[in-house]
Amino acid sequence: MCLRVEDHVVLGKDEPGKTVEITVDGRKLAAKEGEKILAALLANGIIVNRYTVKRKEPRGLFCGIGQCTDCAMIVNGKPNVRTCITPVKEGMVIETQHGLGKRGAIHD
């Protein structure tokens, strides 16, 4: 299932751009340099970004513009990174965030 909008009636063809490799929960994925982390994950069929602190419920894209924090993940070891507004860089290590994302403290 292709989720990328490669060709568009109004916007035309998407610019090819440079492909980079990122690691998501230990899995290597291809992403486009500079695209939002969340977009790269969506394109790869990943829609859960984090689990809530108390009820451990899954959360994913909600506002898409950095206002709600539902898309927060751990990026290169740094928790609470809003993936909908943070661009992908070569070699990024991205992890699903559990609770507040302080390793060991909230994780069980």
Partner 1 sequence: MAWESGVQFMIKKEVVVIGGGPSGMAAAIEAAKRGAEVLVIDANEKAGGQLFKQIHKFFGSSEHGAGVRGIDIGRDLLKEAEELGVEVWLNSVAIGLFAEKQIAVETGTDDAEKIVRVVEGEKIVIACGASENVVRFQGWTLPGIMGAGAAQTMINANRVLPGKKILMVGSGNVGLIVSYQLMQAGADVVALVEAAPNIGGYVVHASKIARAGVPIYTRHTVLEARGEGRVKEAVICEVDGKWQPVPGTEKVIEVDAIAIAAGLKPLAELAIMNGCKTKFDPILGGWAPLHDENMESSCSGIYVVGDVTGVEEANTALEEGRLAGVAIAAALGKITAEEAETEKKKIWDRLDGLRSGPHGEARMKAKDRQLADFRQLSAAEI
Which residues would be at the binding site for partner 1 (CB under 8 A)? 1, 3-6, 8-11, 14, 35-36, 38-39, 42-43, 47-49, 57-67, 75-76, 78, 80-82, 84-87, 89, 92
Residue for token pair 């984090």: 50
Region 19-48 residues binding ligand FES, contact defined as CB under 6 A: none
Burial zone of 22 (CB within 10 Å; 0-12 exposed, 13-18 middle, 19+ buried): buried
Residue 58 contact, options partner 1, ligand FES, none, Cβ 5-8 Å cut-off depending on partner type: partner 1
The span of 4-12, 14-22, 58-66, 92-100 binding ligand FES (CB under 6 A) equals 58-66
Residue for token pair 């539902």: 70
41-46, Cβ contacts within 8 angstroms, sequence gap of 24 or more:
41/83, 41/94, 42/3, 43/3, 43/4, 45/1, 45/3
CB of 86 to partner 1, least distance (A): 5
Residue 19 contact, options ligand FES, partner 1, none, Cβ 5-8 Å cut-off depending on partner type: none
Compute and round to an integer the Cα radius of gyration of the chain: 14
The residue among 18 and 78 lying less far from ligand FES, judged by its C-beta, is: 78
